[in-house]
Structure 1
């Protein structure tokens, strides 16, 4: 059996469902579209639950805002960043809003729009292989959910949007197109009736010695918590969360977290990074969404990039008279590549760079993290600029570079201007500092943190510390270059 379409889309997730609907709304002669998905049951994932303001804007441009209705989606007005009991407010600029929700409900909303669109066939089938003819992909072979034999689905253009675990990525772009090795996982569960430090704000908690924790409300009673756990994941993950992460979180979250851990399993998702590459390996096929380009989920920018890609690609495909004319398609892919670059590159670079800083793996990154928090405490443009980048409102790699290296320099200045946090053991009411014992615990320029006296002290740098701090400053600056430079290269190397 064989079915013929104009466009064949593999994967009915965020990108695939949105593109099927967008193409159905074309002002050009209506095309016949097939949207194939292995299972049309509601997906159950622990990521893809926060849509940044720019993503909401692209959803509106695509005519898909209705996918946010009736799913108990929560308005998001910005972030609260928590470190050692301190909180800094980072609001979205100009009253912009994001939305948070259960991922599966949002995907089902997008699928419903695609199902109702004219010219779109939504088919529950497992795609087994690509069909090629004379070096060109002309469709796929798939097995319907209620069948046993493979069926051929042919199309002038095949679009692969089968997600981060894509089965066809390497076939389309070659074996080199694979995500970076997994360095950490997001481990998550749902808290019931938890009270966040700031209502309708995402919470980012910086955990000393570990990766960050994210919390955001995804329905009236449900709050998602995602905890970054570096590889390898501890064998007793729940114990790790209670002993290593819980003490650094606001007190009002402790009981909901303990209750969730006792009642539910902790699920995990690998944090992957896959820079985009030009799509010229095979004719007749295009990659879309996480199958082509992934970034760290810390900044919640994945859906924004996907919806941006759908919006740009669908507008250019509207102008293509013959999808079989690959010379014309190459021009479309080239225009798409350049038009998406500003937003995608900004979010891609920022996601990994910010994770490196918030993860603070080592002394230099710990200095960077402290400086970043103090930078946010300045308010004004020190908050507006970074959150405009994170939310996709200001897609500019030059602005990102400006704020990133400003934070690096500010972190260096803070080394000399602020008391430094020194971790020391405390026993028998004696405070041990640099190998000596201070009976009072408060002399000689040493200050304890009264909220957490057993963990650290605050020590004002003396002139004797300056040589070491100058050397540390050089290392911090080099660390900033070592983080940002390679990430920038992954985005510009194909230019």
Structure 2
């Protein structure tokens, strides 16, 4: 059995792992002895995934700060200038603030560029090897390194020792529960995104992510990832239909813009549908008593949010940037007390951006994906709020895109939307069915309907302010509205 020693071993050469390897090398250049880093990846072939293809403006900024913005070049990446929300034939335009731009691309091409950047960094060894286990001290339980098998080693295992092991092996992490315990490692799977690539599809607003709301089913997300390729992701709740293609053709396709029908039919006829779980995993503070000594979790191995808003890579790059800057200040990475202090500071320094994006991802999924009359009232108010333009659009999209990581701004806009929804409910026309009528008429609520609307208003606000789940109890009292997104915020702020 062979063995080799490093300062840091990183398991997983994906988004977070590759970025961290490059950042640690770059930021440690001023140290008396630059760090020696091993980046281990089971397969260095170009990955083929249906998520991780949209980078928000905040993520582009973090990538630039990492010195890796060139990874967006020469991969046929497409500029992204905002969102378009489609419901019932109506479009709501939600542009990014002027001067800000995201990018969308084929995931595999981007990953290969990140890996190449890491490989070129001084002191970084990129190794194609499958990590089978963490090596722990039999007396203290501290992680001392990993055991892995190189691709061309005929099954012979090799030991990679390190002062610090970083686990960045993605949403299906093999070592998450080992590092932070089985209970804390359990993700909440909210359903699945089923994905395909459409050829030469025409989106309602070019170079904008499109969120189509489908009555009775989850949202559909579309964004262009190359000159001729557009990704479609269809939310499917558990349990999954036995025939996914039939479900899409019968229930989803008729409610989407007609320009998308033929590209979707063509894609379903010739392409194998793939799916990814939509998981929510709140971040557990690491270090000291919270997680296993000598190891750190990073990226989706540690913290996941719903992919509807495309915030995962933005959080990952920002986390990596902050963590790398902190770690290079530690003189001895084998000093777990010093590393723990860094981890504590990092955990809370990342909160403004990470908590904002995490909370929004679940809240917007519940708002867009739930078939509930109270959430429907809030959704209507949300669209009307965006239609006001100005700060009613700039504020929310700045939060969503990672441009303005400000939980206070999130608080303000949440309640602004909630109470504006109530104003809409009392003052705007809605469909009313008259006896023996063939179709509804549009009418403003009458005064004698106000008592019922008052009761409904309590339920509308309490429904979304106290639970992240689409089937929340809508009968909770109004006072619970002051606890803004309580379960989601608690998952971000609680101590373990």
Relative to the length of structure 1, the TM-score reads 0.92
Shift of 1:401: 1.4
**Equivalence for 1:453:** none
**Equivalence for 1:187:** 194
> What do residues 417-462 of structure 1 show as CA deviations (whole Å, max 9, x unaligned)?
222246xxxxxxxxxx36x3126x4xxxx43xxxxxxxxxx45433
Shift of 1:463: 3.2
Distance 2:22 2:230 in 1: 30
Within 5 A, what are the aligned runs for 1:18-417?
Answer: 18-25=19-26, 26=28, 27-28=30-31, 29-133=33-137, 134-147=140-153, 148-280=155-287, 281-417=291-427
Unaligned runs of 5+ in 2: 468-484
Shift of 1:241: 1.4
The answer on whether the counterparts of 1:421 and 1:459 sit within 8 Å (CA) in structure 2 is yes
Shift of 1:181: 3.2
User: What is the RMSD computed on CA atoms of the aligned residues?
Assistant: 1.4
Shift of 1:206: 1.4
Distance 1:462 1:185 in 2: 42
The answer on whether the counterparts of 1:179 and 1:272 sit within 8 Å (CA) in structure 2 is no
> What do residues 456-479 of structure 1 show as CA deviations (whole Å, max 9, x unaligned)?
xx4543334333222211110111
**Equivalence for 1:429:** none
How many residue pairs were aligned?
Answer: 469
The answer on whether the counterparts of 2:190 and 2:280 sit within 8 Å (CA) in structure 1 is no
Shift of 1:243: 2.1
Shift of 1:168: 0.6
Shift of 1:210: 1.4
SS at match of 1:408: helix
SS at match of 1:130: strand
Distance change in 2, residues 1:321/1:168 (3 Å): same
Distance 1:400 1:100 in 2: 25
The answer on whether the counterparts of 1:193 and 1:256 sit within 8 Å (CA) in structure 2 is yes
The answer on whether the counterparts of 1:140 and 1:153 sit within 8 Å (CA) in structure 2 is yes
Distance 1:140 1:57 in 2: 33
Distance change in 2, residues 1:174/1:421 (3 Å): farther
Whether 1:420 and 2:430 are equivalent positions in the alignment is yes
> What do residues 17-49 of structure 1 show as CA deviations (whole Å, max 9, x unaligned)?
000011111222211110001111111111110
SS at match of 1:93: coil
Distance 2:315 2:48 in 1: 21
SS at match of 1:438: coil
Deviates more, 1:412-421 or 1:135-144: 412-421
Distance 2:357 2:216 in 1: 25
SS at match of 2:280: coil
